[in-house]
Structure formats: structure tokens, C-alpha cells
Structure 1
Amino acid sequence: MADHVASTPSPQPDLNRNRLPTLFEVLSRRTLPPVDLFSFYIYMRDQQRSVDYLDFWLDVAQHMSLCRHYVRELRRSVLVGTPEPHDVGSKRSSAILESLGDMSHPAAGPSMYATEKERDQDAQMSAYLREAQQQQQRPGTGPALQPDSPPQSSNDRSNPHAARPSPGVSGSRDVTTDSNSPAHTVARQDIRASAEKILYTFLLPGAEREITLPGSITQDVTTAIEEFGRDDPEVFDVAKDYVFQAMERDAFPGFLRQKALGNLIPPTLILRLIIGLVSMFGGFWTAFVLIFLNESRRTRLWVILPFTVGVYCLASYQYSLDPILALIGLSEYTPFNFSRVREPYVRKLLMQRAVMVLSVTMLVDAALCVLFVLVPGKRL
């Protein structure tokens, strides 16, 4: 996955949450494994086969963070009086910047989860970016604040970059966040490049990773960026909300079932089903052979081995849960790769289900063993 500008600082996980997390909490990195953003990315890639939707949402959220960082730096320059005279072309723009506040949102998210204050700030920020862009494009008019010359007190103009949750890394998936330091200054052309990258990667017909959206949404975004030159965050709002609702409706319930109620993935479940069926066949075949050879009950006790393996594997397949792994606090995210269960409520759920699955396994195993050990033998 490509590097890109990081989002706002990750909020602290809510360790007192006595419920399953929401999709927004997962996307804003407020959850712990196995229901964290990294695990959701793996699920969208391997099981749902629609990781492009998640990448689009993350790119748009980080575009919002990029814009916030850019405007925050401009606002700071206005408040401390550092801009050069030619950098301020509009008192209205300066007034907008001063009225924005610190924009310390915990995370960029869908509009339905934003507070009224956040919506107002984001709307003012988008209005400022549009006005600055229009003034830059208007002949004979200088920009409100020079978009391509962000304020800085250092010669370091490098952009903050961090990797999106990557399937190739384990442990913490916290992404390096942006900073208010001069070393993390953002230029206006970075915002424009970010908007165009999203358009050309996900939205245009025939794009490299084109996602399916209603035609009207795609057309509106394309027109706004290509014809009107917009790059403010509001240009993606409708598309971002549509993708969020689609993931929340179609993908997230399956993710919670797999990760919060189980600890195995489909390829491993199929393997356990095969092993369970073979073991059960071996157990029945051995039991009937020993009965018809009139072997002693002590000898027939050996059928407990194939029956135990078979019942355990079939129960794991049925409940998508390995009870022993659950009791020691492990969850599978790729074949035979495990992560520690750190989300408190999920850990409690898995422990309860593990005890239940073990009880069912022992009950069925005991019933089969008693049946085939105590039945009278008859030599044929």
C-alpha cells in the first residue's frame, strides 16, 4: 500500500466499553485487536474482497486531515502575525481562519457522526479553501494566503508520511500522526495532489482501483475537481458517507461475527472440517471393527482418540472458534498467524463461548465413547 499523509492523532481505545465496537470506532483506531483497523483491513482484503472501498475511505479521511493541518498552520501564522504582507490578500479569509478554532477533532469520520461544532468548522474550512482557490485562479487577484507558500519557521518542508495498516506488519498498527512542528508543513499543492490521486485511483471509469458508486455521485465529484478545480474536503463528503454506510451494512456485521464471536478464519475452518470428518470416519470404523472382533472394553477405549479429535474439529468449524486458543487469548488473522486478544469485551465473549464449546465437545465425545465401549461385542 502506498504511503500517504497520516491522519489526526489516534484517540485512546475505550477500555471500559461494555459492548461491541462500531465501525466508526474501528476506523478511527479506538479499538484493540482482534477488532482493530488492521484486522478489519485483512478481513476486507481476504474475506470480503472489497478492500478498495476501505482504502478509499481511509484516503478521503486522510485528505481531510491534510486540509486541517494546512489550515491550522495558516491560522497559526495569522494569529502570531508572521505572514508577509503579500501573503494576506483578504481580510475575510483572515477572519475565517481566526474563527475556525483549533480544529482538534479526534478523527475524520462520516458526517452523521460529527458534532455540530465539527460540522461548522469543516464547512468553514472548506469554504476558505474554495475561496483561496478561486482567488488564485482569478486573473489579477492575489490569493488570500499564498496556497503554495505555507508558513514555516524552518527550512525543512518535508511532508508527514506514514504507512496505512499493512498486512505485512504485526503488533501495533498505530500510524505515525501529523504534527504541529515546522518539520511537518503542508503545501497547497499537496492538497490538490491528494484530491486528484483519490479521483484518478478510485472514481474515474477504468481507474486502477475503481469502486462502484452511483453515477451521479461519481459525476459530481469528477466535475467539481476537474472543471471547478475544487480540492476541499466537502467535495468527497457524499461519496465518503455512501462508502461508509455500505461497509457498515455489508461488511462490518460479518467482521464482528468472525472476530468478536470466533477466532478462526475460513481457510482454517475448511481444514478443520476435513480433519474432523476424516477423524470421525476413522473413529466409527475403528469402533465397529473392535466390536465385531469382540475386543475387550479396555481395548475399545482407544476410540476416544479419533472421536475427540473429530468432535473438537467439527465443533470448532460449527462455532468458528478454537476453544483452547480462545482460553489462552489468541485470535487468527491470517492462516496460522495469531494475535493476542486485547479488546476486553471481546476477550470476555470469547472466553464464554470457549467454555460452552468445550462443554459441548466433551459431552458429545463422552456419549460416543460410552456408546461404543459399553455396547456388547459380537465376533463375526
Structure 2
Amino acid sequence: MAFEGREPPEDAGSPSPVPDMNRNRLPTLFEVLSRRTHPPVDLFSFYIYMRDQQRSVDYLDFWLDVAQHMSLCRHYVRELRRSVLVGTPDIEKEESKRSSRALEAMGEMSHGPAGPSMYASDKEREQNAQMSAYLRDQPAPGGIGMNDSPASSQERRARASTQLSSSTPHNMTSNSNSPFHSVAREDIRASAEKILYTFLLPGAEREITLPGSITTEITTAIEQDGRDDPEVFDVAKDYVFQAMERDAFPGFLRARALGNLIPPTIIARLIIGLIAMFGAFWTAFILIFLNYPRHTRAWEILPFTVGVYFLASYQYSLDPIMALLGFTEYTPFNFSRIREPYVRKLLVKRSVMVLAATVLIDAAFCVLFILVPGKRL
């Protein structure tokens, strides 16, 4: 599945996150997920790492879908609040008055990224709690409540998939009860059901491993209680964040911030390096035992240099020349510029170290096999 299809939509009028160009350290997982970093430690790079190396991209897709769900809810509630501020035809109704007071009490919804609960400010926690409470009091049309008879899972999966595919934030819907017809209340319900049926139910298409208590709680809340507010996924979202932070993110930083090669390329360099070193040693001994002059044996520099360079690249997962030129490898033969300043600084230092080690080892081999006296057997 293409990464672009997983990207949470930006709220209308919300500014894009600005990467911190003065950060003199490696980024945190929250900064990467919040799009506050540059390549090679940006969200796109982390997605590729989770897909190709960690083989657990479903966890990241779950996070992105929950973040998109949060964005949909914020967008929907913000539009309703703005419509209340300018007045609506039903504002005189008692129910509308209660609704308007609840919306006004939230204040302007923040544009911050949907992160784990531990990183939210007190204001964000309060706003998210108020938003979830409001959405619980305003059930989606067609949603299942405690007194309704639930539909079968297959019917509900089909309905969620159809609704979400036909009404997305990028394709404006005409059947919407939000003022600007960009996010319908049904879209929020369909989004919650899609997350449940895609990632959480046993036997789901892309089921992720979560404690059974979390999965049961979410399933009950959505299917029986008719909930679709963002708080439904809070516990699962925090669990997935901690799992990625503990199991995947350290390896991602080692691979992308301390190196610039990917596993297939690293293995290829090992093979090339071993072949070059075998050829260098074989040639060196042949020239010595055939008593070739030293100026002829000087050509041994070439295979020794290639062998040592490629083996050093394998050992450090780093191509020093490519790093000094400011490039990193995403996928085989697909390169991108290193734009994160601190990572660029780290890779330059490591490249100089690797090049120095390569030159010293290469020089030692060349001196040994070129200057040693020849003896014809």
C-alpha cells in the first residue's frame, strides 16, 4: 500500500509542522511521527524502514489511521463550532443551545499532531476530552447504540469501507451535516469502524498484536456502545507508540542516522569486498612468487582498495564518499539528500573515520605485498 494513501489529512487552514533545524540531537519518535524532521529521519523514511526491515508496518499504519481519525474529529467539531459562532437556523432549540454551549466551551481546537497521551499538554487533554464527550452525546446517524440490534460484522465492514472510500477529506461530500460539507458525521463513524475491522478484530486483514483486554474494550465500545470518539483508541494508540519506540525506533536511528545504506546493498558490498580481497591476495602472491618488479606489483593497490573500502562500508553500514556528498539510500538505487543538520554532521564524522581506517588498512596491505622481496619458485 502506498505511503501517500496512509498520510493523515491536514486540517483545513492548519499550518504544516515546521521541522526544528536547530536541534542538536537525534529526534524522538514523536517528532518523527509529527513530521518535524527532515530526511533521512523523516516519517517517510520510518515508514520504509518499518515496511522493508522491521516487517511491522501494520503498527505504523494503525497509528496513522488513528491520527487521521483524530484529525477528522477535530475538523468536524471545529466546523460545527464556527457555524455556532455565526449562528444557525436551529439555534433557538433547547438541544441546539446545549450543543452550542458545549462547542463554545472547547475553544478553538489546536492544530497540534495527534500524539500519545503522555505528550499532550493539559489544554490538549482537556480539549480532547471535551471533544470526545461531545461526540458521544451526538451519535452518528445509523450508528449502533446499546439498545439497537447490531448488524453482522460483514455488513458493517462493507458499510464502513464504502462510506470511507466514497467520502474522504479530499473528496468533498454533498451529504454532510457539517457546515462546509467537508467532513460528515458518518465519516467519523466509518473511520472508527474501518480501524476496528482492519487492525483489531481477530482475523482482521492486518491484525496487530495487542493485549486482549484492549481489543475487547475497543470492540465493545464501537460495536455495542456505538462510540466513535477519539478516546476509544487512546489506550491502543499509546500501547502501539511505546512498542514502536522500544522495539523499532532505536534500530531506525542506527540505520538512518549512523549509516546511509540498506540491508540488500550492505550484503552486496560484503560479497564484492570479499571477492576483491580474494583477488587481491591471489594476485599479490602470484606476483611475488613469479618475482615481478615492484612497479608492476603496485597495481595491487586497486583490488586492495576496492576490497577494503567495500568491507568497511559493510562493517559500518556506511558509504563514506556518498555520505560526504550528502546522500543516503532509501531503496536499491534510490537516493535522497541528507537534510537533517545533526544527522549530516554525524555522518560526516563517521565518514572521515571510515575513510581514515580504509586508507591505513589499504596502505598496510600495499606496503606489505609491494615492498616484500620477490622470489621466483
* TMscore range, shorter length: 0.7 to 0.9
Distance 2:146 2:104 in 1: 24
Q: Which residue of 2 aligns with 1:372?
A: 369
Which letter maps to 1:119? R
Task: Using the TM superposition, give the Cα deviation of residue 207 of structure 1 relative to its aligned residue in structure 2, in angstroms.
Answer: 0.5
Q: Which ranges of 4 or more aligned residues in structure 1 deviate by more than 4 Å?
A: 2-5, 85-88, 134-139, 181-184
Task: Using the TM superposition, give the Cα deviation of residue 89 of structure 1 relative to its aligned residue in structure 2, in angstroms.
Answer: 1.6
- For residues 223-257 of structure 1, the C-alpha deviation after alignment (integer angstroms, 9 at most, x for no partner) is 00000000000000000000000000000000000
Q: Which residue of 1 aligns with 2:298?
A: 301
Q: Which residue of 2 aligns with 1:6?
A: 9
Task: Using the TM superposition, give the Cα deviation of residue 185 of structure 1 relative to its aligned residue in structure 2, in angstroms.
Answer: 2.0
Could you say what secondary structure the match of 2:72 adopts? helix
- For residues 89-145 of structure 1, the C-alpha deviation after alignment (integer angstroms, 9 at most, x for no partner) is 253332120011111232111111000000000000000100112999699xxxxxx
Q: Which residue of 2 aligns with 1:250?
A: 247
- For residues 189-208 of structure 1, the C-alpha deviation after alignment (integer angstroms, 9 at most, x for no partner) is 00000000000000001110
Q: Which residue of 1 aligns with 2:116?
A: 110
1:19 aligns with 2:19: no
- Of the three residues 79, 86, 111, the one matched with 1:80 is 86
Matches of residues 211-290 of structure 1 in structure 2 within 5 Å? 211-290=208-287
Classify 1:247/1:83 alpha carbon distance in 2 versus 1 (closer, same or farther; 3 Å).
farther
CA contact (8 A) 1:264 1:322 kept: yes
CA contact (8 A) 1:160 1:184 kept: no
Distance 2:103 2:180 in 1: 21
Task: Using the TM superposition, give the Cα deviation of residue 158 of structure 1 relative to its aligned residue in structure 2, in angstroms.
Answer: 6.7
Classify 1:200/1:83 alpha carbon distance in 2 versus 1 (closer, same or farther; 3 Å).
farther
Matches of residues 198-213 of structure 1 in structure 2 within 5 Å? 198-213=195-210
Classify 1:81/1:23 alpha carbon distance in 2 versus 1 (closer, same or farther; 3 Å).
same
Q: Which residue of 2 aligns with 1:151?
A: none
- Percent of counterpart pairs with the same letter? 78
Distance 1:138 1:284 in 2: 78
Q: Which residue of 1 aligns with 2:75?
A: 69
Q: Which residue of 1 aligns with 2:162?
A: none
Distance 1:361 1:274 in 2: 17
Classify 1:27/1:334 alpha carbon distance in 2 versus 1 (closer, same or farther; 3 Å).
same
CA contact (8 A) 1:333 1:339 kept: yes
Classify 1:53/1:82 alpha carbon distance in 2 versus 1 (closer, same or farther; 3 Å).
same
1:327 aligns with 2:324: yes
Q: Which residue of 2 aligns with 1:161?
A: 170
For normalisation by structure 1, the TM-score amounts to: 0.87
- Of the three residues 189, 193, 213, the one matched with 2:190 is 193
Q: Which residue of 2 aligns with 1:175?
A: none
RMSD: 2.1
CA contact (8 A) 1:48 1:251 kept: yes
Q: Which residue of 1 aligns with 2:125?
A: 119
Distance 2:240 2:342 in 1: 27
Task: Using the TM superposition, give the Cα deviation of residue 84 of structure 1 relative to its aligned residue in structure 2, in angstroms.
Answer: 2.7
Classify 1:288/1:5 alpha carbon distance in 2 versus 1 (closer, same or farther; 3 Å).
closer
1:130 aligns with 2:139: no
Distance 1:5 1:268 in 2: 31
- For residues 328-370 of structure 1, the C-alpha deviation after alignment (integer angstroms, 9 at most, x for no partner) is 0000010111011001111111111111110000010001000
- Which piece of structure 1 moves more, 50-59 or 6-15? 6-15
Q: Which residue of 2 aligns with 1:58?
A: 64
CA contact (8 A) 1:3 1:161 kept: no
Give the unaligned 5+ runs of structure 2: 148-165, 172-177
Classify 1:266/1:91 alpha carbon distance in 2 versus 1 (closer, same or farther; 3 Å).
same
Which letter maps to 1:113? Y
Distance 1:245 1:138 in 2: 32
Which letter maps to 1:373? I
Task: Using the TM superposition, give the Cα deviation of residue 82 of structure 1 relative to its aligned residue in structure 2, in angstroms.
Answer: 2.5
Could you say what secondary structure the match of 1:14 adopts? coil
Q: Which residue of 1 aligns with 2:98?
A: 92
Task: Using the TM superposition, give the Cα deviation of residue 50 of structure 1 relative to its aligned residue in structure 2, in angstroms.
Answer: 0.3
Distance 1:290 1:4 in 2: 60
1:48 aligns with 2:54: yes
Could you say what secondary structure the match of 2:330 adopts? strand
CA contact (8 A) 2:59 2:208 kept: yes
- Of the three residues 350, 355, 359, the one matched with 2:356 is 359
How many pairs does the alignment contain? 345
